[in-house]
Structures are given as structure tokens and as C-alpha cells.
Amino acid sequence: MRYAMAIDTKKCVGCGDCVVACQTENNVPHGYCRDWVVENVTGTYPSLDLEFRSERCNHCDNAPCVRCCPTGASHKVEGGVVLVTHNKCIGCGACIESCPYDARYPHPEGYVDKCTFCIHRVEKGQNPSCVGVCPTRCLHFGDLNDPNSDVSLALKDRKWKVLAPEAGTKPQLYFLT
């Protein structure tokens, strides 16, 4: 099993619903977030391209945050999901420094926090809250090893890219272009 997410940049409107749904689902304190939206504009008026990307932890196959964690708080669970055990985390911030996606933040209660792919929902057969709420249905989640999962179907006939492939982290967010 390999959980992954595909984000359709041709449909995302950058509304931020994924951000607020994550905050209310996961009790993320005001002022912090586990996911965010990037707007990328290229070209000059009027020859322009616009891309919105809903970004979060890439749950990398080769996760530098897990490698560098001195306490083992950052760890992988089944399906390749990267999690942080809050009471094992000493808040040293090594993982924050090591992440090329800047996906982690220091929670005011002293530990480092990040996207969990809403594993508590996924275990019950639900989608992550960002996926479930997205009005444009531009987020697709599931098991890459299952050819009929939403994410596999979304990737099937589309071009995609990953962010910072040069970092060698084998990220698991696929941006459909």
C-alpha cells in the first residue's frame, strides 16, 4: 500500500477551503496551517499562465525528516504516511530544517506538527478532510498500488510533476498539469 495525493492544477481555484477544513478537522491553532495554497503566474500580460497548487507534506518515500529525527518521533506508518508522535518530539526543529517543502511548523505546545493525510479518517474509509471538502474536486487521494483508487485513476491519462524532484525525496504529491 502506498498512499498518495494528486492535485489537479487545471481545476484548483485557490480558494483555501482545504486549509480551513484541515484547521477545523485537526484542531490546528489559528495562525498555523498544515496545508496551504501557492499561486504561480508566468508570462507577461496578456500571454499568461496561472497555476494554483494546494500543498502539504509530501509523505516522501525517502523522507529526510524521518532520517534526521533524533528521537524517532518522526516516523513512517503503513501506506508510507509520515507522522510525528507528539510526546516523543522535543521540538528541536531538525525536521523543519531538513524538509525541502517547508511542510512542518512548530506547534505552540512545543512539538512539531504537519499533515497526517488525515490518517484517522482514512482508517475509517473516509478521504482526508481537504479532499472531502474541495469544491472543485481537484484533490484525489488513495493507494497508488490499487489501480482503481482515485489517485491512480487521476494520474492515469494525465501529465504530472512533483515538487523539487532534485532533492531526491521521492515525494508523493503529484501535481496534474
Partner 1 sequence: MHTRRNFIRISSLGLGATVLAGSMAKWVVGANSPKNISIGSNSLASLKPVPTYCEVCFWKCAGWAYVDEKGDILKIVGNKNDPHCNGRLCPRGTGGIGMYYDEDRLKTPLIREKKKDGTQYFREASWEEALDKVANKMKEVKEKYGSEAFGLFNHGNPGASLEHLLRSYGSESNAEPAFANCRGPRSAAYFTTFGTDIVSPENTDIRDTECLVLIGSHIGENMHNSQVQEMSEAIDKKAIIITVDPRFSTAAGHSSFWLPIKPSTDIALLMAWIHVLIYDELYNKPFVEKYTFGFDLLKNHVKSMTPEWAYGITDIEPEVIRKTARAMAGAAPAVVIHPGRHTVWYGDDSQRERAMAILTALLGAWGKRGSLYLPEAIKIPEFPQPKYPTPKWNWKDINEGKFPLASMGITTELLKASIPRLNYKHQVKAWLVGGTNLPLSMPDKKLFKEAAESVEFIAVMDTMPMEITGYADVILPEATYLERYDFLRAAPARVPNVAMRMPAAQPKYDTKPGWWIVKQIGERLGLHDYFNYNDYSEVIDWQLKKLGSSLEEMKKIGVKLFPRKDGPLYLADGEDFQFNTSTGKIELYSVDFANAGFDPFPVYTPHPEPPQNFYRLIYGRAPMHTFSRTSNNPNLWDLMKENSVWVNPKVADLWGLKKGQKVWLKNQDGAVTTFPVAVRVTERIRWDSVYMVHGFGHSDKKLTRAFGMGASDEEMITNIAVDPVMGGTGMRGNFITFLKENPASDKKEDKA
Give the footprint of partner 1 on this chain (CB under 8 A).
Answer: 10-11, 13-17, 19-21, 23-27, 29-33, 35-46, 48-52, 93, 96-97, 100-102, 105, 108, 120-121, 132-138, 163-164, 166
Which among 1, 28, 8 is positioned nearest to 123, based on CA atoms? 1
CB of 36 to partner 1, least distance (A): 4
Distance of CA 148 to the CA centre of its chain: 21
CB of 176 to partner 1, least distance (A): 11
The amino acid present at 107, given as its one-letter code, is H
Which among 163, 156, 126, 124 is positioned nearest to 141, based on CA atoms? 126
CB of 64 to partner 1, least distance (A): 14
Q: Which is nearer to partner 1, 145 or 161 (CB)?
A: 161
Q: Which is nearer to partner 1, 88 or 145 (CB)?
A: 88
CB of 37 to partner 1, least distance (A): 4
The single-letter DSSP state of residue 45 is T
The amino acid present at 33, given as its one-letter code, is C
Residue 147 burial (CB count, 10 A): 9
Q: Which is nearer to partner 1, 10 or 145 (CB)?
A: 10
CB of 27 to partner 1, least distance (A): 4
Q: Which is nearer to partner 1, 76 or 136 (CB)?
A: 136
Which distant-in-sequence residues (6+ apart) come within 8 Å of 119 by Cβ?
Answer: 77, 81, 83
Q: Which is nearer to partner 1, 67 or 137 (CB)?
A: 137
Starting at the edge strand that comes first in sequence, how are the strands of the sheet with 3-8 ordered? 139-143, 3-8, 173-176, 160-161
